[in-house]
Structure 1
Amino acid sequence: MFVMRFTERAYFNYTEEDVKNSPGGAHRVTFSNSHFDPAVAADQYNYYLDEWQYCEEIGFDGMMLNEHHSTPTSLGAAMNLEAAILARITKKPKIVLMGNPLPIHENPLRLAEELAEIDCISRGRLVSGFVRGGGTESWATNTNPVYNRERFEEAHDLVIKTWTTPGPFRWEGKHYHFRHVNPFQVPLQKPHPPVWIPGTGSAETAAWCAEHHYPYFYLGIVPYTFGYMQDIYRDAARMHGYEAGPQNFGYMLPIHVQDTDEKAKVEGRGFLEALVGVGRVPMPREYSFPPGYNRATRDMWADDEREAKVRETRASDPFRTGPVTDETFQGMIDDNRMVIGSPDTVIRKVREVLEQVRPGILAVWTNDGSISHEATMRCLQLMDQEVLPAIREIGDELELPGPFDIDP
């Protein structure tokens, strides 16, 4: 099993009233950058880089980065810049980008060049994830959401051809037109760096991943929806002549460990602010789903009953919605939506999750939101001493090969 570490790298120097008083009352898109203090962010960026370096000492297989725009919930607005730094200051872990939002790029050739440089600097440690990007990214970059999926697929095809076909050549697509394609830099890995695709529950994305033999990495932290995506992927894989196994699936799990269960619950509550920011003020729905972002037509993989269940689960998901009570927080812990506790508790509950979802890729989401740097470092120390070795043993026992053990 491939085990990597993840965090959103949140900025938290603002208040709930700041959010409520922002245009639209939102923590994304319209939340003013007047609330950004560069001096505070300078400390936070360096704390996060220190944590990543320590993750190499611990022995994580990979370091997972993502990218968001116009929001304090993620300081990673230029993920490839962070990846380039990690490519130089670390030596062993894979640098897993989950991922570059392709539809917002007007020049995918520049993206292909950046990723090729990262792969060369890291001496072939890049895993290049691509995403459609949330609706908020369309607002932040003035990109027409109607063409989101079309641009995603065309930009993907152009980047892959750029990496694998000697130039110069011409590209004339629907959304991208280049008379001269010939970036000089190409990746060290051949034919190109591994491509993994994250998603939150789109049947079409899961089937597209299976068609391309790309691992599908689930970000939703809802086992039911992940099972639905796995079924779709497996069916699509059979149509393309192969059987999908654990190496084709990834799962992200918030895990925060402290010396005692009580301490872990106090610190781990900061997770709840990770996606929705300080105060957990609900964001206008049209920010996340601008008109046209979701297709009006249905594809062959859609299932009315299951998709209704997915929508219902999302709508009531306390991880992504408004204020959370002590009771709902405990319920999320009891349901293993978040694994929080002492080393013994965490190891036992991680086993339960792995037995249920059986991923070949596990992203350990160790900290986020208002969880402090000090609490994060203690969490990572305990991961090193007790939890990570146990996770590896469980992965071996359950026979969960990763994508570097068996080719997806």
Structure 2
Amino acid sequence: MVAESEHCILHARHQSNVGASMEFGIWSNGFRPHTTPAETFDEDLQEIILADELGMRDCYISEHHGEPVYINKVDTLPVPELLMCKAAGLTKQIRMGAAVTVIHLWHPVDVAIRAATTDHVIGNNRFFFGFGSGFHSPLFSEERGLTYEDRHERLVESLDLILKCWNTEQPFDWNGKHWKGKGIVATPRPLSKPMPMATASETESMIQLAAERGYTLISAHEPPPILKKKTDKYLRYAKAAGHRQPLKNIANARFVYLADSRAQAIADLREAVSFEMEFQRKRGLLKYLMGAFGLPYNWETVTFGDLVECGFYLVGEPDVIGKRLEKIYTESGGFGTLLLVTGKGWATRDKRLRSLRMFMEEVAPKLRHLEATRET
């Protein structure tokens, strides 16, 4: 693949300096009932600022595009790099990247330039490039005149062209199957050498690519047996490629909300989560999750209470949730970074921020010793 060798070697060197102890972060996976986008983005910023103050290392921000079901009801963030740039000026050390930039929807030259520019604006090795294919829906491809069926193939070509842009100083032509370009000059090139990379994928070929190149693999909400199978594949390919401690490159996101009691936590979340579930039911996400994760519920009737009972939502007292997270870590074969999902309209701002504080003060210290290492 074009531009692969130089990037892979440098990326492996960069990752080898990272410690093996558990790291923490947030995944700002926006879904807030419509007020105005400005108010929604301000809520996101408050959570990112607190995550930075609490010592979390990473902040992943979802790229969300508009859908008919969302119109005038839920705000979206189609260009998360803009929020990252504002957040960078309000924080000191937290790293930020998309989860994910849907690179098969954008022209790769524009993606390369936008990411490199963001890297320079944020600076200090605080930006990473997260990419993937996004939500399982043909809508976003079709509204751009693209085909949905070949999105994975188009994504791979997009990645090749992005890396070519980052690693080529002179103008060049591109005559691919999906993208064309003549006399391409992609400036600026990234500040970070190499650019840290992350991806979210279920496909064997992309898991292999991520593992061999040392990219972080993002996972979200999977039951431990499913996450373990994915992690095992990643480790096998990574170790064959000569990477040390590849388990540290697994980032696992979970719905976590802490309160003084389980009953209080459920009461705090019930209205907001039930509201979101109705949207996810309409857009097909619940149907996908029930099937992909093997959850024992009918997607048409599953409730918030059901998802609490099966552990999809981890809500309650710090001690209890800490033990459940450690069990997930063990049963899934381990991971290097735990991401707490934020960006939701749960309860009130004060309660959401209190939950983050409780986690970092009472739960994180008990999990940090978990090392991202294992033999198989």
Corresponding residue for residue 306 of structure 2? 328
Corresponding residue for residue 247 of structure 1? 248
Q: How much does 1:275 deviate?
A: 6.3
Corresponding residue for residue 111 of structure 2? 111
Corresponding residue for residue 84 of structure 2? 83
Q: Is the 8 A contact 1:273 1:370 kept in 2?
A: no
Query: Cα deviations across residues 271-322 of structure 1 (Å, max 9, x unaligned)?
Result: 74586445x544359x999xxxxxxxxxxxxxxxxxxxx984446465x933
Q: For 2:80 and 2:88, locate their aligned partners in 1 and report how far apart those are by CA, in whole Å.
A: 12
**For this pair of structures, how many residues does the alignment match?**
343
Q: Is the 8 A contact 2:30 2:342 kept in 1?
A: no
The CA RMSD over aligned residues, in Å, is 2.9
Query: Cα deviations across residues 314-340 of structure 1 (Å, max 9, x unaligned)?
Result: 46465x93343475234223xxx3221
Corresponding residue for residue 24 of structure 2? 3
Query: Aligned to 1:347, which of 322, 331, 339?
Result: 322
Corresponding residue for residue 17 of structure 2? none
1:159 paired with 2:162, answer yes
Q: How much does 1:270 deviate?
A: 5.5
Corresponding residue for residue 283 of structure 2? 283
Letter of the 2:38 partner, please give it.
A
Corresponding residue for residue 217 of structure 2? 216
1:383 paired with 2:359, answer yes
Query: Aligned to 1:363, which of 339, 345, 356?
Result: 339
- The correspondence of residues 7-406 of structure 1 with structure 2, limited to 5 A, is 7-13=28-34, 40-71=36-67, 72=70, 75-105=76-106, 107-123=107-123, 124-136=125-137, 137-191=140-194, 193-199=195-201, 201-242=202-243, 245-269=246-270, 272-273=273-274, 276-278=277-279, 281-283=281-283, 312-314=291-293, 316=295, 321-325=299-303, 328-333=306-311, 337-357=312-332, 358-366=334-342, 368=344, 370-392=346-368, 396=369, 398-400=370-372
Q: For 2:213 and 2:296, locate their aligned partners in 1 and report how far apart those are by CA, in whole Å.
A: 31
Q: How much does 1:350 deviate?
A: 1.6
Q: For 1:65 and 1:367, locate their aligned partners in 2 and report how far apart those are by CA, in whole Å.
A: 9
Q: For 1:143 and 1:317, locate their aligned partners in 2 and report how far apart those are by CA, in whole Å.
A: 35
Query: Cα deviations across residues 216-271 of structure 1 (Å, max 9, x unaligned)?
Result: 22124222221121222233335434566312322111111112222112223467
Q: How much does 1:389 deviate?
A: 2.8
Letter of the 1:204 partner, please give it.
S
Q: For 2:47 and 2:170, locate their aligned partners in 1 and report how far apart those are by CA, in whole Å.
A: 40
Query: Cα deviations across residues 354-378 of structure 1 (Å, max 9, x unaligned)?
Result: 2222101221114625443232122
Corresponding residue for residue 35 of structure 1? none
2:235 match: secondary structure: helix
Q: For 2:50 and 2:108, locate their aligned partners in 1 and report how far apart those are by CA, in whole Å.
A: 33
Query: Cα deviations across residues 7-62 of structure 1 (Å, max 9, x unaligned)?
Result: 3221314xxxxxxxxxxxxxxxxxxxxxxxxx533322212212211211111101
Q: Which runs of 5+ in 2 are unaligned?
A: 1-21
Q: For 1:170 and 1:84, locate their aligned partners in 2 and report how far apart those are by CA, in whole Å.
A: 31
Q: Which runs of 5+ in 1 are unaligned?
A: 14-38, 290-309, 402-408
Shift of the 353–316 alpha-carbon distance from structure 1 to 2, 3 Å rule, reads closer
Q: Is the 8 A contact 1:252 1:362 kept in 2?
A: yes
Q: Is the 8 A contact 1:218 1:250 kept in 2?
A: yes
TM-score, reference length from structure 2: 0.81
Q: Is the 8 A contact 2:308 2:314 kept in 1?
A: no
Query: Cα deviations across residues 116-143 of structure 1 (Å, max 9, x unaligned)?
Result: 1211122121111110122333245342
Q: For 1:140 and 1:165, locate their aligned partners in 2 and report how far apart those are by CA, in whole Å.
A: 32
Q: For 1:359 and 1:270, locate their aligned partners in 2 and report how far apart those are by CA, in whole Å.
A: 31
Q: For 2:239 and 2:270, locate their aligned partners in 1 and report how far apart those are by CA, in whole Å.
A: 41
1:113 match: secondary structure: helix
Q: Is the 8 A contact 1:127 1:194 kept in 2?
A: yes
Q: How much does 1:385 deviate?
A: 2.9
Q: For 1:176 and 1:159, locate their aligned partners in 2 and report how far apart those are by CA, in whole Å.
A: 11
2:268 match: secondary structure: helix
Shift of the 99–273 alpha-carbon distance from structure 1 to 2, 3 Å rule, reads farther
